[in-house]
Chains A and B, each alone.
Chain A
């Protein structure tokens, strides 16, 4: 009798648990379904249609969008630019931000001014950063040109030159993203306990030795995590490039995301735009899964 009532009580409790869990989780899943799961599916479906985005009639055209995508030189050029961005992020942005974070970690409170100043670019919207640097890099009355002219040189056209535009834009991307990685590494540093540092100092290690032989190995997981973030972030990059060059001149700074945007919302070729978006999604997923697997197996071995 007693056991039975205990049983029913437990069951009632379990029912309440499930009821409340459902009540609290359903809104989130509704929103995720409406704004993420369904759109992702819909993009894949639309990629098999010809559709101008406005008319209600979509015409099914099989895999022809995908066929076009696979041989589309402009898309692969955009993909190549994305890869350049990834490489640049990993060999420039991550080491620089790690160095900045190390400096802040060593200087502590005394480095406060540096910390604040180095952090501020992160607070600016991409549109504002883009516009600001369009003026700074402008051929007429830009900062770079003015410097060159005071030194006796001529005008410098960074954003209009197809050979230089990508690097100019990448410089600006770095200016904006280095604070992000810096903050990331700063947080990782705080995960290393003070005692480790104190012990190393007592043993007579210099700060340099401490960094290379103790901190860096401890930060290794953080570095590989930052690299994965840099990879994904650079592959889906959009904002600054769209604002500053819109992919130009020609297709010199075109990225997958700007290319997708052009087809979808400028040419209103939404079928093909969806194929580009879906292709981009597949490439990003495959590449990030591969990298994560690689870094994981390395960590294990």
Chain B
């Protein structure tokens, strides 16, 4: 009995320690966000006089109004356009490539698959100079369209990898039935494989979408003018515009995070699962 009690105490103690550490890490992740949101509602000089921990005196919305009525939507739309176009191409192309790799038996199919997968480990910075050169040469430099190619290319390897695995798991009966009905392979792809792959495509859309939305190196190198910047880079432009105005920049930061938070609220566990799929395969 004593032994049992001892063990029970030990367990409670262990749980207590775990919860304390969990709360500690919760503070570590959440406090920066609280700092960001609280201070974004302060006036420019209020932050200097009142310190960073106090609640704002009046929840001054001026920073947000000024940012939103400024160039913010331009940057936002740039990001949206790049995201939608890149994601559409990326998903279509990787679905197309995954179909023969998952279903056909032909020579070199494993070799081709390994070549695509091997590209996952190539660091983007080794391609930065030639891609920069290429975009200047064809006149795409300093335009959001310059970003589409690299985003599609660097999203392809992992997408093909995940989608090929997914398509291998789809039962073959539907295809066989369609074949008997006289469908050719291209029709089978569009009428059966593509609709059946929707869950896999959704995972990829989430994983690649978050990465493309937040991408930094290419966006920073291949665009230059203010009007061509994507949302993450707009922070730089605002910083130039509002030097020494910390609350203003914090409101910009908050605004850049909000779309992702909304996405998270809508998709919830799907978002975490999508990111996990990318993490575990990458």
Interface residues, chain A, CB within 8 Å of chain B? Answer: 14, 16-18, 20-21, 23-25, 27-29, 31-32, 34-36, 38-40, 42-43, 46, 53, 96, 99-100, 103, 106, 111, 114-128, 131-133, 135-136, 141-143, 146, 175, 179-181, 183-184, 186-188, 206-208, 225, 229, 232, 235-236, 238-239, 242-243, 257, 260-261, 264-265, 270, 273-274, 277-278, 280-281, 284-285, 288
Question: How far is it, in angstroms, between the C-alpha of A179 and the C-alpha of B210 when the chains are bound?
Answer: 14
Once the chains bind, are B126 and A146 in contact (CB under 8 Å)? Answer: no
**Given contact pairs A21-B100, A39-B130, A183-B276, A120 touches B11 in the complex (Cβ within 8 A):** no
Contact of A114 (CB < 8 Å), options: B26, B150, B186: B26
A50 to B26, CA, bound (A): 51
Interchain residue pairs with CB less than 8 A apart (24): A20-B104, A20-B185, A21-B100, A29-B112, A35-B127, A39-B128, A42-B130, A99-B21, A103-B22, A111-B22, A124-B260, A125-B216, A127-B233, A128-B253, A131-B253, A135-B249, A175-B29, A186-B276, A236-B123, A236-B124, A239-B217, A277-B128, A277-B129, A281-B126
Please determine whether B97 and A127 come into contact, CB atoms closer than 8 angstroms: no
Cβ–Cβ contact A32 & B125, under 8 A: no
Inter-subunit contact A127/B131 (CB<8 Å): no
Residue in chain A with minimal CB distance to B279: A184
Q: Which of chain B's residues have a CB closer than 8 A to the CB of A32?
A: 115-116, 119, 153, 156-157
Q: Is the CB of B153 within 8 A of A31?
A: yes
Interfacial chain B residues near A229, Cβ < 8 Å? 279, 282
Within 8 A of A (CB), among B231-259: 231-233, 235-236, 239, 246, 249-250, 253, 256-257
Contact call A280/B30, Cβ cutoff below 8 A: no
Flag if A141 contacts B47 (CB, 8 Å). Answer: yes
Contact, CB under 8 Å: A141 / B246? yes
Q: Which residues of chain B are near A34, meaning CB under 8 Å?
A: 134, 149, 153
B185→A277 contact, CB < 8 A = no
- Nearest to B27 among chain A residues (CB) is A117
Q: What total count of A-B pairs have CB within 8 Å?
A: 247
Is B110 positioned at the interface, with any CB of A under 8 Å from its CB?
Answer: no
A21 in contact with B106 given A99-B21, A135-B246, A143-B35 (CB within 8 Å): yes
Q: Give complex CA distance A261, B99 in Å.
A: 38
Asked whether, in the complex, the Cβ of B29 is within 8 Å of the Cβ of A118, the reply is yes
